[in-house]
Chains A and B, each alone.
Chain A
């Protein structure tokens, strides 16, 4: 409505052909004065508008950041294995991974091919070809760099005092991220390395543990193994509680091999082969001398 009045007024002014002599008024000047007196006032930016603009800007920034993050950081893929079974995976970079029970891996691959894997639990990894980009496995404070085709087992359950890395084939360099990347031990085929969770102590030597892959192969080998170690391996493998009541039993050496045997069968066989006796009370097995 106001706009119509403005139009009528403007038309009227523009139709004026002349004004009295000596008058400094002109139609343009009149129109400008009218606009000045009756035109719309520019209102100050209202608080609501300011808030809306700020919110919109914030949303825009968040969207921009999330887009840029997706662009520059690769997607992290997480895989877990159940509490009662193992799991086998083929990763996009061709690595084969076997996960022991209760294990989790989180990995990412950059466009450059750089591969990063974090794990908790126990995994056996086969890297069939020499990586052409950095290939890193991290767990706890241990950093494992793979530079060649390698087969390795990493045991890193949170309750274990050490992180154990056993190299079956190829080689890796192992460092502790508290000590720094420059301080690494080269661990080659047939050797193992342990990184202490408590004091970052990095240690490597020949692997003498024949059962490090028992969780994957189902094969348990005891070769003049002291009963204290046998029970430790069985405890780890079957997740059972085993106690030795007699110290002399702990020193007793046992030799025997089991293939995918049940816990009860293993106990029965050891009992048959040796001077020890085992009794079972619920989930707890007690070992004593016969």
Chain B
């Protein structure tokens, strides 16, 4: 009985933790394994009461290649979309998906230093989920 109760409590704990584990998971599973020089990571939550889109602004520098990783422990990678804009124009991204490791990598070479907007969109807006977006530096020319 005690074991059953313990298991139920643990299951409850795991379930409630599923929406809030992205940043911890990234720290433990991805941060030091991903290619490039780490710059910044941030957690993005999908809340059923929101429009499913979260915006970030960053200053990126000309001539530098960045890799933007979207790591995703709880939702399929295909259900999350990343777009980058500069002065309301879309920036071309090269996308590589690693399904086994549950992450997508978007590489971009910056042609002009300035403020860029990153948008993370969850296709299924009704579910409670999260991803971690991490920026890495690929190389400097």
A contacts, CB < 8 Å to B? 175-176, 179, 183-185, 194, 196, 199, 201-206, 208, 224-226, 228-229, 247-248, 250-253, 275
Contacts and interface: CB of A to CB of B under 8 A. Distances in A.
B24 A201 contact: no
Contact of B39 (A179, A201, A225): A201
B24 A185 contact: no
Interface residues of B, number: 28
B77 to A, nearest CB: 21
Nearest to B133: A205
Interface string B6-29: 000110011011011101100010
Interface string B96-137: 000000000000000001110000000000000000000101
A228 B25 CA distance: 11
A250 B21 CA distance: 9
Interface in B27-83: 28, 39-40, 42, 45, 54-59, 61
Contacts of A248: 10, 13-14
B17 A226 contact: yes
Nearest to A289: B10
A224 B20 contact: yes
A251 B17 contact: yes
B114 A203 contact: no
Given A203-B56, A226-B21, A275 B115 contact: no
Given A183-B115, A185-B115, A205 B135 contact: no
A188 B124 CA distance: 28
Of the candidates B20, B28, B135, the one having the most CB atoms from chain A within 10 angstroms of its own CB is B20
